Structures are given as C-alpha cells and as structure tokens.
C-alpha cells in the first residue's frame, strides 16, 4: 500500500477531489429538489423503507386502538382534526375558464386527483338507482364516468337526442363545452327549465317508494346545482344584485343544504357590492362556534374589523400610544384568521404568486388559501389600509402558537397532513406553501458540507500540489 501511495501524482489527487466534489454536488442538488417537491429527504426515505428492515430495525407504530375503550376512542376521534377535502364553493368553469387558461399557457391547471374527485361528485349528485328507467339518464350515468372530455360531451349530445329535457346533459355541456360564461349561462338556463319540470314530477310521486325518494334527492341536487351556477354566471357577468337575489332565494328554498356552503358565494358577491352590513349579517349566522369554519368566514370577519380602523392605522403611532379597543379587536381577528389558515397572508400581500384555484380544497391548507385569495384579494385592496394592517400584524400569530402541530390557541392543532393533500390538489408548477416550515434534512446539510469540503481540497491541490501530496501521504 505504501509503494502504491508513493507512486500517486498530484494530478491524481486533484482529479479525485474534483470528482468527489462533482458527485457530492449532484447528490446535493437531487436531495434539494426532492425535498422541495416531496417534502422529504430521498436518502432518508430509502434508508427507512429499505435498509431498516434489512438490519432488523422496527418502525415505531402507533398504539393499537384496542388498548382504548370505546368512549376514549370516540373522544379522540372528535378531538383530532381531519384532512377532509371539500368541494370549492367558487370553483371555476372547466370550458370557459380552466380550458382557456390551458390554451393560453399550455399548462394543465387541474390535477388528475382533483378531476377524479369531481367525477365522483358528479356521480353522487346527478345519478341514482332509477336511471335505468330513463334511457337519457342511463347515457349520462356513463358520461360522468368517462375520462375523456370529448367522450363526455358526445355522450351528453346522445342523451339530448333521446330526451331533449335531460337537465344533466345541459349541465355537462355548460361546464365543459361552453367556452364563454355567456354560453355556459345559456346551457344552464336550458338545464333549469328541464330541471324544474322533472323536479315537480318527482315531488308528486316521491312517497310512492324508496326509489322515487332517491330520484327526488337526485333531482333536488340537479336543481340546486343549476341555480347556484346560474347565480355564479350572473356574478361573473357583472349582474351582482341579481346574483345576490338568486343566492338568497336558493338558501331560503333549500335551507337544509348548508353543507354546500352557498353562503360563501353570497359573502363574495356582497363584498363586491360593498354591502358590509349585509356581510356582517351573514357572518353573524354562519360564524358560529358549532359550525365548521373556513378561510372565507375567518378572513372576512377580520376584514370587516380591519375596515373600522385600517384607514387611520399607523404602526409608529400605535407603538407610542398603544392600541385602541377597535384596533385590538381587529388585530385579534387577524390572528384568529391566520391561526385557522396561515397560508393566506402571503397571497394577499402578494409575496407568493397565485394560480387558478382547484375544484376541491383542503380547509386550513394551501389549496384553500389559493382559492380564497384568488377571489377576495380585490376586496382587501379596496379597503384602504387593510393590507397594511395585515402586513404589520399577521406574523404575531406565530408567537402565540410556537408549536402549532402540538397545541392550538383558538382552533385545534394544525393538521400535519395538509402538505400531502395540497400537493395532490394543486398543479405541479405551483410551489406549495408548507406550515410549519420544515427544517432541512440532515443529508442536505451533509452533502452540502461534503461538496464544499471536496471543492476546497480540489482548489488547494491545484494551488499547492506538492504540499497536498505530502499531506495525503502523511
């Protein structure tokens, strides 16, 4: 070995250190990319999943549910926040908005996972066991399962050939074939005419059998969906008062369908009208401790409180004289909103770029933040000083909750599963916001240090070849 080492030249050591630096640099770049994309270290992931079983390691597993009584199990389930995916109340139109974006940019705004969830929603909303009794509904039942958009549109036209009053066929054409909101509204008006006729028939015979009751539920879903989308068309076309009236009538006609979150559509339209007293009335009804919260509820409540003080608010003045009661209420409302969804402020303050909102959102996640900011940023900008107040106060929330995954302040601890679900819902070209920020894995630090150390050795070998050879042989 000594003889071999003595024959090595400075060029060999230089090549060795350069190669080592290059390889460790490639590993570092790959590790960094993998962490930014998937939130984990690739080396660590491979080590845990493949190497640990080989060396006899046992993964830590949670305690078995059988160790708890039924009452404790139920209590623990109620206290644990769920990563449930919800339908976006303000979701855009496939043909008139999402498709136009793809034509212009060449980027797909919706993920396969998101579109698959929508397909499941459509099957649940628009189909029932009695579809076999009507040939047009049988065709539409197959249409909602089709993956190819053109195949779905073709099936909708086939259904209309069998029955010109097939409401769900008009719904599909409005969502996917119409390339403008005006065209979508025209299809939805035809769907409304057909849907109301079928709904009246179902009402007259719903008590005859369980199958007829299921048919009434389906026809009710179709009618509510069509009326809501018509109201959204009116909102997008600038007929905001008409949209507000349609939403109020819909909520009054079907009060039990509050899980559809139509009130969030109403809140956004009222904010556009600057009818802040009406917004407060809606919040008084839905911002209740017993009802599920959303970013729209929490941040709209914060916006109204900020509106009362934001125009005259100055951080320098406030630091000298202290906060007034109204300012304290506004800051507390902002802290409450930020605790519920900490991703929203960066979008409202334009620190992160927006993308088109997905068709489904995860409450308290980045997908909900994108959806909220996409529609409500203009309302924050309209109120003078509101964004300045948000900018000065939102980060104070994190001082009150230093360990958000372990303990919350006004809400349950922040769920740890949001990042994974948001990556499935949001397009790949969007950088998903992660909370709380993860520390860089050990192997990123290690490969970065190895790359730097090897590069330094290569530089020293190039500058002082004889000295480095003596050092290597020592």
* 2-16, 184-198, 247-261: least confidently modelled range: 2-16
Return d(Cα 146, Cα 119) in angstroms, integer: 9
Measure Cα distances from 124 to 119, 191, 287, 373, 375 in Å: 9, 18, 28, 29, 27
Residue 202 lies in a domain: yes
| 109-149 pLDDT per residue, tens | 999 999 999 999 999 889 888 777 788 989 999 999 988 99
Residue 462 lies in a domain: no
Residue 436: pLDDT band (50, 70, 90) is confident
The domain spanning residue 113 has which CATH number? Answer: 1.25.40
Q: Is the dihedral of CA 175, 180, 182, 183 positive or negative?
A: negative
- Domain coverage including residue 162: 93-260
Which pLDDT value is given to residue 251?
92
Give me the residues paired with residue 360 across strands: 87
| 212-238 pLDDT per residue, tens | 788 888 889 999 999 999 999 999 999
With vertex at residue 379, the alpha carbon angle to CA 378 and CA 380, rounded to the nearest 5 degrees, is 90
Two structure tokens written together for 224: 């509510």
Residue 187 lies in a domain: yes
Residue 82: pLDDT band (50, 70, 90) is low
Which pLDDT value is given to residue 186?
96
**In the predicted model, is pLDDT for residue 3 greater than 70?**
no
Cis ω for the linkage preceding 436 (within 30 of 0): yes
Residue 240 lies in a domain: yes
Q: What's the structural domain count of the chain?
A: 1
Residue 218 lies in a domain: yes
* 11-20, 336-345, 418-427, 463-472: least confidently modelled range: 463-472
Return d(Cα 414, Cα 433) in angstroms, integer: 14
Which pLDDT value is given to residue 39?
63
Q: What is the mean pLDDT of the chain?
A: 84
For the residues 322-329, what does the mean pLDDT come to?
87
Alpha carbons within 13 angstroms on the beta-carbon side of residue 120 total: 11
Return d(Cα 390, Cα 384) in angstroms, integer: 12
Return d(Cα 92, Cα 362) in angstroms, integer: 16
**In the predicted model, is pLDDT for residue 14 greater than 90?**
no
**In the predicted model, is pLDDT for residue 79 greater than 80?**
no
Which pLDDT value is given to residue 223?
93
286 Cβ contact list (under 8 Å, min separation 6): 263, 297
Q: Scanning the structure block, which residue is given the tokens 């008590």?
A: 207
405 SS3 class = coil
Return d(Cα 70, Cα 57) in angstroms, integer: 32
Q: Return the percentage of the chain with pLDDT > 90, whole number.
A: 50
Residue 54: pLDDT band (50, 70, 90) is low
Residue 72 lies in a domain: no
For the residues 197-226, what does the mean pLDDT come to?
83
For the residues 241-264, what does the mean pLDDT come to?
89
Distance of CA 271 to the CA centre of its chain: 22
Three-state SS string across 27-79, please? Answer: HHHHHHHHHHHHCCCHHHHHHHHHHHHHCCCCCCCCCCHHHCCHHHHHHHHHH
Which pLDDT value is given to residue 4?
56
15 Cβ contact list (under 8 Å, min separation 6): none
Q: Which helix (H) or strand (E) holds 301?
A: helix 295-307
Residue 312: pLDDT band (50, 70, 90) is confident
Residue 56 lies in a domain: no
Residue 77 lies in a domain: no
Question: Which phi and psi angles does 86 have, rounded to 5°?
Answer: -115, 150
């Amino acid at each position: 070995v000594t003889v071999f080492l003595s024959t090595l030249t400075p060029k060999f050591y230089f090549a060795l250190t350069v190669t080592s630096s290059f390889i460790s640099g490639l590993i570092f770049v790959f590790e960094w990319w993998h962490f930014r994309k998937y939130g984990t270290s690739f080396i660590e992931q491979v080590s845990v999943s493949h190497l640990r079983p080989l060396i006899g390691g046992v993964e830590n597993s949670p305690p078995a549910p059988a160790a708890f009584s039924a009452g404790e199990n139920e209590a623990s389930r109620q206290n644990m926040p769920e990563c449930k995916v919800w339908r976006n109340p303000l979701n855009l139109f496939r043909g008139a908005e999402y498709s136009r974006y793809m034509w212009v940019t060449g980027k797909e705004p919706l993920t396969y996972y998101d579109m698959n969830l929508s397909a499941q929603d459509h099957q649940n909303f628009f189909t029932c066991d009695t579809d076999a009794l009507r040939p047009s509904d049988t065709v539409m039942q197959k249409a909602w399962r089709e993956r190819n958009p053109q195949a779905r549109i073709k099936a909708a036209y086939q259904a209309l050939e069998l029955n010109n009053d097939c409401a769900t066929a008009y719904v599909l054409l409005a969502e996917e074939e119409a390339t403008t909101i005006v065209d979508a509204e025209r299809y939805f008006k035809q769907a409304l005419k057909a849907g109301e006729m079928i709904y009246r028939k179902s009402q007259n015979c719903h008590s005859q059998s369980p199958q007829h009751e299921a048919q009434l539920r389906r026809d009710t879903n179709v009618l509510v969906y069509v009326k809501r989308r018509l109201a959204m068309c009116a909102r997008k076309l600038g007929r905001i008062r008409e949209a507000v009236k349609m939403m109020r009538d819909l909520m009054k006609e079907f009060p039990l369908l509050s899980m559809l979150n139509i009130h969030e559509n109403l809140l956004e339209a009222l904010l556009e009208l600057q009818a802040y007293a009406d917004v407060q009335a809606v919040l008084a009804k839905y911002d209740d401790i017993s009802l599920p919260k959303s970013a729209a509820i929490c941040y709209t409540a914060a916006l109204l409180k900020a509106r009362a003080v934001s125009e005259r608010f100055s951080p320098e003045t406030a630091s000298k004289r202290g906060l007034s009661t109204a300012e304290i209420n506004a800051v507390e409302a902002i802290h409450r909103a930020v605790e519920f969804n900490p991703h929203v402020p960066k979008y409202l303050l334009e620190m992160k770029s927006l993308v088109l909102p997905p068709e489904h959102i995860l409450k308290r996640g980045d997908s909900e933040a994108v959806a909220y900011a996409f529609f409500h940023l203009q309302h924050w900008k309209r109120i003078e000083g509101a964004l300045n107040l948000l900018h000065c106060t939102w980060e104070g929330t994190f001082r009150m909750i230093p360990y958000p995954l372990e303990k919350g302040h006004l809400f349950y601890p922040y769920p740890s599963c949001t990042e994974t679900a948001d990556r499935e819902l949001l397009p790949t070209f969007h950088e998903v916001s992660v909370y709380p920020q993860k520390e860089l894995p050990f192997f990123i630090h290690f490969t970065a240090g190895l790359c730097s150390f090897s590069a330094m050795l290569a530089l020293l070998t190039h500058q002082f070849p004889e000295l480095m050879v003596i050092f290597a042989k020592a």
